[in-house]
Every structure is written in C-alpha cells, then in structure tokens.
Amino acid sequence: MPSFDVINYGLRPSKSIQRQLVFNGIHSLQALMKLDMPLYVGLGSVSFTDFSLAHRLLQIRDMVSIESKKIGYRRAKFNSPYATIKVLYGVTEKVLPELLDCSEAINRPWILWLDYDCEFCEDVRDDIRLIIERVPENSIVLFTFNGNEMRYGRKPAQRPERLQTLFEDVVPDSLSANACKKGKIEVNLANFAINFMKATAANMSRPGGFVPAFNILYSDSASMITVGGVLPNNSLVDTVNDFLQSCAWECCPSEPIIAPNLTVKEALALQSLLPNGAGISKNDVRNLGFDLEEEHVRVYEKYYREYPTYAQVLI
Amino acid sequence: MNNQKLDSANASPTKEFFVNMITKDISLEDSILDLIDNSIDAAKHSSGSQPMTLGSQIDLSQYTISIKLSSNSFIIVDNCGGMTLDNAIKHAFSFGRKPGIEPEQYGIGVYGIGMKRAAFKLGRDITVRSTYVEGNRIRQSFKVPIDVEEWLKSKIQSWDFDIVEAEDMEENGVEIQVRNLTSAAKNALANPAFVQNLRRMLARDYSLYLNKGLNLIVNGERISGLHLEFAGSEEFVPMRISYNGLQNGDEIFVEMIGGMAAPPPDSTEPDEKQNSDKRFGWYIACNGRIVLAADKTEVSGWGTTNWPQWHRQYAGFMGIVLFSAYNTAALPLTTTKRSVDLTSDVYKTAQVKMRDLTKEWINYTNERKQALDAAKEKEARAKAIPIQQVENRESIALPKLPAVKPVERPANVQYSVPVKRMKRLAGELGNINLPYREVGLRSFEYTYEDLVGEE
C-alpha cells in the first residue's frame, strides 16, 4: 500500500465518518423517543471526542467516562472538557455494575457507547450482557471492537470454535473456516454480536426487547466494528422499528467505510463539486488537478458531509 | 348406608384447561416438534408405514417439512400427503385419541393431543389447511380456521371447529399457520439463540429420519441430521444387540448400541469449555424419534441402584436404545416426547442391559487413570464408525490396561490469570482454543527448557 494511504493516521477519516453517522443516528432517535435527561456513558480516554459531540449535538448534560489505567485516569480528569463529566476509575466490569446500582443513574435512559480498542473477548461479552440485561428502558447502546481476523485465531480453522465460545448459542454449528477469513469474518462478527444482544434481551424476556439499529464496519488501519441498538419500552417498540425501516436510516451501511486519506485541499476541492445528482467521475477529479482511485471517489461522494475537513481543537 | 345417589359431580373438562393449562406442561420447542411428528407420521404413512430401525431401508427423500419462524407468525408446511376430510371430522381435532382408533402404525403421534396443544402454545389465530387425494384420485382441500379467543368465549357447549373450503396447496400436504402469537412464542421466535438451538435439537432428535433423506427446513435453511458415531478399533468395539420385548401384549423391537464415542478427558476437573461433554450419555429413540438425548440423569439410570452418578470422568461414552413398535401406544413415551415412561416394562428390562454396559465403561475409565499414556495411545488409534455400521456383538470390548505406578511424585499447580492474557498466550502457542490446562503445561515446558534445559 502506498504510504500516502496510511499516513495521516491521527485524523482517521473512517473513524470520524463512523462517529458522525452514529451521532446523527442517536440524535434522530433521541428526538423520536423524546429521551428525557439521558446519561451519556463512554470510554472518553483523554480526547473526549464523543463526549464533546454528546454535549454539543445531543445536548446531554450528565456524562460518565470510565478509565481503567491509573495514569490514564489522572490524564482524563485533567483533560475532561466539561464540568458535568464524571471520570470513574476502574475496569468496565467493575464500574458498570456500580453505576447500574446508582439510583441517580438508573432513573433515566442511557446513551452508552463502549468504544473498545480490543477484539470481542470474554470481558466485552460480559459487559454487553450486563448492559442489555440491566440498562434502563429507552436506552441506546453501542459497542465498538476490533474485527481483525487474527485476533480470533491465527488459522481460519481455529476461528469457528473461538466464535462459538464467545457468542455462544447464536453461532450456527455450520460456521465454516471460510466464513472466518478476512473480508467475511467482519460481517459475521457484527451479525453475531447483534444476535447475541437480541438473544440476551429475549432470554430474560426484557420488555420491548432489543432493536438492532447500528451495524457499521470501518477501517483506517485496523478493521473495526460498531454495533448497537435501542432497548425501548413496550410502547415505543413499533415506533422505533418503523423509524429504522425508513430509507433515511444510515447507520447500517451495506459496505464497510474505508475512506481515503485526503489533504484538506483535496477534500475541499471535491466538496466544491457536491452535492451532485450525477456523481463525480474520475475525469472530474483529474480536472481538479489530482487523481484518486474510483472506490475512494465513491466513498467520499457518499460521506462528504461526514468527512473531516478541519482539525478540531477541543477547548 | 345404601349408597343412594344424591347427585353427580361435574367432571367435564373445560376449554380453558386445554388452552391455558396443558400448554404449561410442554416447552415451545417440544410443541414445534409435535407438529413435525405429525408431518413425519404422514410421510411414513405415504411411504408404506415401515418400522424405523437402524437397518430400515425407508427412503424419505421426496418429503419436505418447511418451517418459517418470525416474531409475527409460525408456519409449518409439508408435502407428506395431507390429512383427509374424514380424518379431520372424526379424529384429528378431537382432544385425545378416541377409543377404538388406532394410532399411526410405527408412528410417533400417539396421544391425539399434539397438534392442538402445540397450536394453542404458539398463538391465538390458527389455520390448518390440508390438500389430499381421495380414493377417487381427485385432489381435495379444506381448512380449519380457529380463533381461540372466540372459541373460548363461545357460549355454545360444542367444542367443534368449523371446516371450510380452501384453495389447493401446491403439493398434497398440511399447512398450519399460527398468528397472534402468545407473548412467550413472540419472544422466542424472534430470539436468534432460540432458533439456532431449535435447529440443533431438530438435527439431533430427527437424525435417524434426516439420515433417511427427509428434508427439514427452518427459515430456508436445510437441517442436516446429526451423525451419531462411535470410535472403534481392534481393542475398542461397541456393543450392538437387538431383541423383542413385550409391553401389554404388544411386541417391541429393541436395539441397543453403546461404546466409546470419544476419548475421555485427561483431567476430571471442570474445564473452561461449557458443555464440553454435552453429547455423551444415553439416547433413547421411539420409532425413530429421539426422546431422550445425552442423558446423564436418573431417567436413564445414572445415580440409581448399582449405577453411579454421572461424573466428568465418564465423558466419551455414548449409548443408544431404539424402541420400534407397530402400536405406538406400547412405546415408553411420555406425552411431551421429551422423556421416557419409567414404569414401562420394556424400558425397565432395557435399563438392566444399559447399566451393565455403562459399568464396563466406568471400569475402563477407572483403570485408565493409572495408565493414562497407554490408554491415550490406544484411544488415538480408534476410527469413527457410524451407528448403522456397528456390527452385532453381545458385549463391549475395551482394552485391558496395565496399572502403572507413577515413578515420580507429581506437583499439582493451580493459578489464576486474566482470561484475555490466557487467550493471547494460547494464540501465541498456536491455537487460541487450547484448554487452559494445556496452555499451563506448554508454558511450563517452554520455561523449563529455556531456564533449566536438558536434564
């Protein structure tokens, strides 16, 4: 791969597009469900990018960030951009149950996004199970994990057993090694994670169940997977389902988001041609004075509104 | 006292009892299996009602049973020949089999309760449609729509359902559509884990039929029958016997096979893999339908007189008993077909042979502990044999193992590490699925060689 495709890692355009899609989706669900004073729960790290969007776009006041490393915790507290963010120290499996026991937290819906760096493992599964079983009604939950095939076994033949261990009953016995190769395993991982959430809600007869709403594969350098959905109360199930069936819902793209690394100048030049019903051709790009792969043109065209065109400074 | 009659106590059943009470005694999965049983009985009837033994040559490949599950409806359609109007009027919709009406020969539907109970368990809006050929070779169709709530509310004492005209189905068979699902059914049918587990159950419980060509399809996906296999070699030979038993004058053909299906575990400690021994234990089939699977409880005999309770040490053993009877009522079946009738004479007789066979295996696993390396070497030479290919033999053959005293005193090690780290190390050792015990041993050997070196 040419180096200009991998540099600019810090900007991570695919991640940025994914984040923007997710927040647009949450924003519309928030309005649809008329969520009252939701609590935002996430893994803010030291940059708090999603927390800033939660506060500015979703108007969420109270937020909780979980930090498992001692130095990371101190840095997170220092970098916290708003007074209403509570940084809690500890691993998610310890902090989440405590939070779920806190009356202040469980009397309102949650918007939770656990954006893990690691693969879907036993700890992630147990967090998801806990959240699906106990999070308050009308919450929106999302989980991001690494979809790199090597994280699930070095050889494809080892992966079906690993996935069966991780996702339990929802994985068909007929899952083949071929379905666990790069390019296929990511889709299966996303589907198994969603089915695991559906099954967890159904197994405990959670009123309203789990309604899948987010299924996004994206890659800047690592293959990442974001899945999630809504845990509506009974009266909102049909409303949420109908809304998600509408063609306006963009949080389950059929293709992985693999955005090109464009310079600001390139991105702005392309943007000046959009929106454009006929689409941008390679010739259009050449006429601008540079060139791009066809697939990169298509991705940009689709996500130009979410493509990061400026460096954000958090203040 | 002259026993003069004062009045009579009303013992009539109520509709509510059948709709709301007897449905509590059966799981949703078993209700669905009840409907499949009816389709299979029809297929067997259409193909000449032959017994379903291991040696049976029956070919069911022209029959298909298709099930569609969703959070809104349950639909089962078959092409197994259909139900005649006469059968619908006189028998199929009555609650319980009427006296004098014989159940299907070599069938699995026996109590005359399955279809109604299953449909009531699933939902409140039911339509049963049938297309069949009468003696005059003309195709005929009818349907029976049942609005359960209306039927319950109906003040008329009649329990009858209306039968109305219907369009022909594509092939001769029966279609049952259930809508307005009960909340339990609605929840389960939309649960991906329920659907996968149902597929597993069908693959296992109908394995004998599926391996005779029957097509069973769930949400468009064909179910492959579980292949029950033993591990055999010169030293490991499964037992296979057959005999005729009697139950209230009815003859029952009994086949019993048992032996090693897989090597026992090296350690009897519980391991991290859930259900790693789930396929071992006793299986009971009645007219081809498995009604008890991988049983490790008192139902098959474990933990009863002269038969120890199941222990992980015994994993690797599998035994199968097949009861085949012309008169289905003679079989040791319960009404839910999820267990056996422990009072059945023919079952009690079989249990003695089951116990003796099991004890042979228990003795082997005891001896094995003293000669683990020799045993593992012999077990590794065993090859898979499908149950149909197991040869007749009065008793199981297992190797005699020499008792070997350990030459050195062992040190047992136990420690805890985070699962995530253990899995990473397993991956680096070549297989992310390695048991923790194996990761511990290999990392010890690795460190020993690195730090201590050759002895």
Instruction: DSSP for B40-68, please give it.
Output: HHHHHHHTT-----TT-----TT-EEEEE
The answer to whether residue B99 scores a pLDDT higher than 70 is no
pLDDT, tens digit (0-9, with 9 covering 90-100), for A94-141: 999 999 999 989 999 999 999 999 999 999 999 999 999 999 999 999
The pLDDT score that the predictor gives to residue B35 is 95
Mean pLDDT computed over B308-313: 92
Q: Show Cβ contacts of residue A282 under 8 Å, excluding neighbours closer than 6 positions.
A: A291, A292, A294, A297
- Is residue B316 within 8 A of residue B261, CB to CB? The reply is yes
pLDDT at B103: 65
pLDDT band of residue A37 (cuts 50, 70, 90) is very high
pLDDT tens by residue, B12-69? 777 777 778 778 888 999 999 999 999 999 999 898 888 888 888 889 999 999 999 9
Instruction: Compute CA distances A306 → A250, A301, B408, whole Å.
Output: 12, 10, 68
A207 CA to centre of own chain: 25
* Substitution target from A120, A121, A192 for chain B, most B beta carbons within 10 A: A121
Mean pLDDT of B146-167: 84
Whether the predicted pLDDT of B1 surpasses 70? no
Residues A189-224: tens digit of each pLDDT: 999 999 999 999 999 999 999 999 999 999 998 999
Task: Average the pLDDT over each of A136-140, B101-105, B391-395, B427-431 and give the range with the smallest value.
Answer: B101-105
pLDDT of B114: 78
Same fold yes or no, B15-222 and B229-389: no
Residue B78 confidence (pLDDT): 97
* A275: preceding bond cis by omega (within 30 degrees): yes
pLDDT tens for B179-203 read 999 999 999 999 999 999 999 999 9
pLDDT value of position B122: 95
- Spell out the residues 6+ positions from residue B418 whose beta carbon is closer than 8 angstroms to its own: none
Instruction: Give φ, ψ of B230 to 5 degrees.
Output: -110, 165
The domain limits of chain B are: 15-222, 229-389, 419-451
- Please report the pLDDT score of residue B102 as a whole number: 67
Contacts of A162 in chain B (CB under 8 A): 432-433
When pLDDT is cut at 50, 70 and 90, the band that residue A311 belongs to is low
Instruction: Measure Cα distances from A62 to A52, A53, A231, B54, B202 in Å.
Output: 12, 13, 20, 67, 50
Out of B188, B273, B431, name the one closest to residue A202 (CB): B188
Q: Are B13 and B149 in contact (CB under 8 A)?
A: no
Q: Which residue has the higher pLDDT, B215 or A306?
A: B215
Q: How confident is the model at residue A7 (pLDDT cuts 50, 70, 90)?
A: very low
Strands (E) across B336-445 are located at: 383-386
Torsion of CA B332, B333, B335, B336, to 10 degrees: 140
How many angstroms separate the CA atoms of A60 and B149, rounded? Answer: 47
Question: Average pLDDT, stretch A178-192?
Answer: 97
φ, ψ at A87 (rounded to 5°): -95, 125
* pTM of the predicted model over 0.90: no
As a residue count, chain B comes to: 455
Please tell me the least confidently modeled range out of A218-227, B156-165, B300-309.
B156-165
Would you tell me how many other CB atoms lie within 10 Å of the CB of residue A29?
24
- How many angstroms separate the Cα of B71 from the Cα of each of A138, B120, B188? 20, 16, 8
Task: Residue B224: list chain A partners with CB under 8 A.
Answer: 174
With CA atoms as reference, report the closest residue to A60 among A139, A150, A142. Answer: A139
Inter-residue contact A300 to A259 (CB < 8 Å): yes
pLDDT of residue B453: 84
CA distance to partner chain B, nearest, from residue A145 (Å)? 14
A165/B203 Cβ within 8 A: no
For residue B379, what is the enclosing H or E element? helix B372-380
| Residue A2: per-residue pLDDT | 41
Locate A91 and state its tokens: 């691993």
Put simply, whether B194 touches A (Cβ < 8 Å) is yes
Task: Please name the residue of chain A whose CA is at the shortest distance from the CA of residue B198.
Answer: A169
- Interface contact flag, B433 A162, Cβ < 8 Å: yes
Strand order of the β-sheet with B250-260 is B239-247, B250-260, B317-325, B281-286, B289-295
pLDDT at B204: 95
Rounded CA separation B248/B415 (Å): 59
What's the rounded Cα separation, in Å, for the pair B256 and B152? 46
pLDDT at A10 over 60: no
pLDDT at B455: 64
Please write the tens of the pLDDT for every residue from B345-361: 999 999 999 999 999 99
Q: Closest-CA residue in chain A for B430? A: A154
pLDDT value of position B381: 94
Cα-Cα-Cα-Cα dihedral of B84, B87, B88, B89, to 10°? 120
d(CA A159, CA A189): 11
If you count residue pairs, one on A and one on B, with CB atoms under 8 Å apart, how many are there? 62
- Does the pLDDT at position B213 exceed 90? yes
* pLDDT at site B161: 86
Cross-strand pairs, B260: B317
Q: Decide which of 3.40.630.70, 2.130.10.10, 3.30.465.10, 3.30.565.10 is the CATH code for B15-222.
A: 3.30.565.10
Helices B419-428 and A122-134 cross at an angle (nearest 10°) of 140
- Mean of pLDDT over chain A: 92
Mean pLDDT over each residue of chain B, to the nearest integer: 89
Q: What pLDDT sits at residue A300?
A: 93
B432 close to A (CB below 8 A) = yes
* Residues B156 and B150: beta-carbon distance below 8 Å: no
Residue A5: pLDDT band (50, 70, 90) is very low
Within an 8 Å CB–CB cutoff, is residue B70 touching chain A?
no
User: B431 and chain A: CB distance < 8 Å anywhere?
Assistant: yes
Q: pLDDT by residue (tens digit) across B268-293?
A: 776 666 667 889 999 999 999 999 99
Q: How many residues does chain A have?
A: 315
Q: What is the ipTM of this complex?
A: 0.82
Confidence at B257, pLDDT banded by 50, 70, 90: very high
Residue percentage of chain B with pLDDT more than 70? 93
Architecture label for domain B229-389: 2-Layer Sandwich (3.30)
Q: Which amino acid is at B56?
A: S
